[in-house]
């Protein structure tokens, strides 16, 4: 019943690895999806964000206006820290509940937490293994420009606002090099699965 944290910087190939592990039988819990659920209208997290940053971060129908919130916090470490103080405890509580539910359903499950901000928010304490999807910054910037339509400056800014590669790699028990072909990445994910399922 291993509990695995899968992390990596933006455009590192982490989602590709998560999908492959799910195909092989892992229970994958996606931190980004969980955050979106907790920020839906009617949820206490959304109410707390609006209380902290004002009604301007809500759309006319009461949903979170992500671009408006992003404009408020991006490049402002104090505001980002306030946002994280609202969101991270709720995400930690809900993800922990989901881990426990997965293991209650199947005590032999392999549970993978797909979490981009592990180094920033959660750290190394509770995991049986930490897997880092890694590609050099230049490769990741090129992917964001080609596949996400970002300018090079935007892509570099996104990378610059996340933990450094060194910080992530320092946490790693396993590193999957995603700078090669898709088949090479999938082969590494398959080898990881075999070691987890053994």
Q: What is the 3-state secondary structure (H, E, C) of 7-47?
A: EECCCCCHHHHHHHHHHHCCEEEEHHHHHHHHCCCCCHHHH
User: What pLDDT score was predicted for residue 52?
Assistant: 93
User: What pLDDT score was predicted for residue 121?
Assistant: 67
**What whole-number distance in Å separates Cα of residue 20 and Cα of residue 11?**
16
Q: How does DSSP assign 126-154, residue by residue?
A: T-SEEEEEE--HHHHHHHHHHHH---HHH
146-158 pLDDT, tens digit each: 988 888 988 898 8
List the beta bridge partners of residue 111.
Answer: 3, 27
User: What pLDDT score was predicted for residue 24?
Assistant: 96
Q: What are phi and psi for residue 125, nearest 5 degrees?
A: -65, -45
Nearest CA-CA partner of 182 in 124, 131, 143, 154: 143
Q: What are phi and psi for residue 174, nearest 5 degrees?
A: -135, 135
Q: Which two tokens stand for residue 45?
A: 């997290």
Task: Yes or no: say if 134 and 165 are a contact pair by the CB < 8 Å rule.
Answer: yes
Q: Which two tokens stand for residue 8?
A: 């990596």
**What whole-number distance in Å separates Cα of residue 149 and Cα of residue 27?**
31
Whether residue 165 is predicted with pLDDT greater than 90 in this model: the reply is: no
The whole model's pTM is what? 0.87
Mean pLDDT of the chain: 91
Q: Which residue has the higher pLDDT, 149 or 41?
A: 41
Return the residue matching tokens 């997290």: 45
**Residue 126: pLDDT band with limits 50, 70, 90:** confident
CB atoms within 10 A of CB 126: 12
In the chain the domains, ranked by start, together with CATH numbers, are 1-26+110-198 (3.40.50.300), 32-107 (3.40.50.300)
User: What pLDDT score was predicted for residue 118?
Assistant: 84
Q: What's the DSSP call for residue 163?
A: -
Whether residue 120 is predicted with pLDDT greater than 90 in this model: the reply is: no
């Amino acid at each position: 019943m291993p509990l695995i944290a899968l992390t990596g910087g933006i455009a590192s190939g982490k989602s590709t690895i998560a999908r492959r592990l799910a195909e092989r039988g892992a229970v994958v819990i996606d931190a980004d999806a969980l955050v979106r659920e907790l920020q839906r209208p009617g949820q206490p997290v959304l109410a707390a964000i609006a209380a902290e940053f004002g009604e301007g971060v809500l759309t006319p129908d009461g949903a979170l206006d992500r671009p408006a919130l992003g404009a408020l916090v991006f490049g402002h470490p104090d505001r980002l820290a306030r946002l994280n103080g609202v969101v991270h405890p709720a995400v930690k509580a809900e993800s922990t509940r989901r881990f426990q539910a997965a293991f209650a359903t199947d005590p032999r499950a392999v549970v993978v937490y797909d979490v981009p901000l592990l180094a920033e928010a959660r750290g190394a304490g509770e995991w049986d293994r930490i897997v880092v999807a890694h590609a050099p910054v230049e490769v990741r910037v090129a992917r964001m420009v080609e596949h996400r339509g970002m300018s090079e400056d935007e892509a570099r800014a996104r990378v610059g606002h996340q933990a450094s590669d060194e910080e992530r790699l320092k946490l790693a028990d396993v590193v999957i090099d995603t700078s090669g072909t898709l088949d090479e990445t999938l082969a590494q994910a398959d080898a990881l699965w075999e070691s987890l399922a053994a």
